Amino acid sequence: MNKIILADSQAIFRAGTAKVLAMNEELRIIAQCTDLDRMHHAITTFPGSIVLFAAALRPDLTRLRLLLDDANSRGIVIAENNEVAATYLQQGFRGVIFRNVTGAALVECVRRVADGETWVPPKLMQPDSPEEDMVGTRVRDRLTPKEMRIVALIVQGCKNREIAMRLKTTEQVIKNYLRSIYDKTGVSDRLELALFTIHHRVLAQAAAEVGSRLEAEELAAAVPAAVA
């Protein structure tokens, strides 16, 4: 049984990763951490573990390497899609996966690292160029602006009630939109939708841009209210 510590502030990705790993009997998730302090505590509490941590947490990599070595643990980096795997492999981490990793590749990476090997991401796991991501492009073009806003908020981990409040509508309307979005993307629930979006670079970029615009609009609307 291989012990797994999963550290990532992105709730949706963390949940999806945990779901995939939990399907394998030889892998056991013993801790899920949302920040660096919790991750550091888990590493010292559960020595001999495989630690999957998000680069987005921005740890002190030198300190983390020493902490892992002291605990006889191995680190796997969850890198953003636009990062370079060699950056982390050269610093002694045992493997790198990208946000757009497939479930099969994720499990293979963990197994290899658990066996003492180093996992180098295959070329096909590198981020696709917009021209190559035909599925993401097709889905992006099929989604309406309102649907894309909902997708952006789903990826951020928002529940239906919060989405309804932010888009100034009702939860039932959001549920209706989600049914349409599921049909267009071929997924069955919000977790699969978030992972599908993250996996397809073109769609992920579009959702990020829409999410940024939405936040800017909310901030602009809040300023006059604060002044008044």
Instruction: Kindly report the CATH number assigned to the domain that includes residue 67.
Output: 3.40.50.2300
Query: What is the reported pLDDT for 127?
Result: 45
What is d(CA 126, CA 128) in angstroms, rounded to the nearest whole number?
Answer: 6
pLDDT band at residue 126 using 50, 70 and 90 as cut-offs = very low
Residue 124 confidence (pLDDT) above 50: no
What is d(CA 29, CA 51) in angstroms, rounded to the nearest whole number?
Answer: 10
> Do 14 and 107 share a domain, yes or no?
yes
Residue that terminates a domain, selected from 85, 100, 125: 125
What is d(CA 105, CA 83) in angstroms, rounded to the nearest whole number?
Answer: 18
Using DSSP, state whether 92 is helix, strand or coil.
coil
DSSP annotation of 119 reads B
Residue that terminates a domain, selected from 83, 99, 125: 125
DSSP annotation of 126 reads S
> Do 120 and 141 share a domain, yes or no?
no
What is d(CA 72, CA 195) in angstroms, rounded to the nearest whole number?
Answer: 31
> Do 8 and 120 share a domain, yes or no?
yes
> Do 155 and 109 share a domain, yes or no?
no
Residue 161 lies in domain: 134-227
Query: What is the reported pLDDT for 128?
Result: 47
> Do 45 and 149 share a domain, yes or no?
no
What's the domain count of the chain? 2
Closest CA to 129 of 205, 54, 186, 77: 205
> Do 157 and 117 share a domain, yes or no?
no
> Do 116 and 70 share a domain, yes or no?
yes
What is d(CA 161, CA 172) in angstroms, rounded to the nearest whole number?
Answer: 9
> Do 6 and 95 share a domain, yes or no?
yes
Query: Of the segments 86-90, 139-143, 221-225, which one has the largest average pLDDT value?
Result: 139-143
What is d(CA 189, CA 30) in angstroms, rounded to the nearest whole number?
Answer: 26
What is d(CA 32, CA 189) in angstroms, rounded to the nearest whole number?
Answer: 22
Query: CA-CA distances (angstroms) from residue 126 to 33, 96, 116, 133, 205?
Result: 26, 11, 23, 12, 16
> Do 143 and 89 share a domain, yes or no?
no
Span 16-40, mean pLDDT? 91
What pTM was estimated for this model as a whole? 0.67
Tens of pLDDT, residue by residue over 183-224, are 999 988 888 888 888 778 788 888 888 988 888 888 887 766
Residue that terminates a domain, selected from 125, 144, 177: 125
pLDDT band at residue 123 using 50, 70 and 90 as cut-offs = low
What percentage of residues in the chain have a pLDDT greater than 90?
53
Query: What is the reported pLDDT for 125?
Result: 43
> Do 97 and 168 share a domain, yes or no?
no
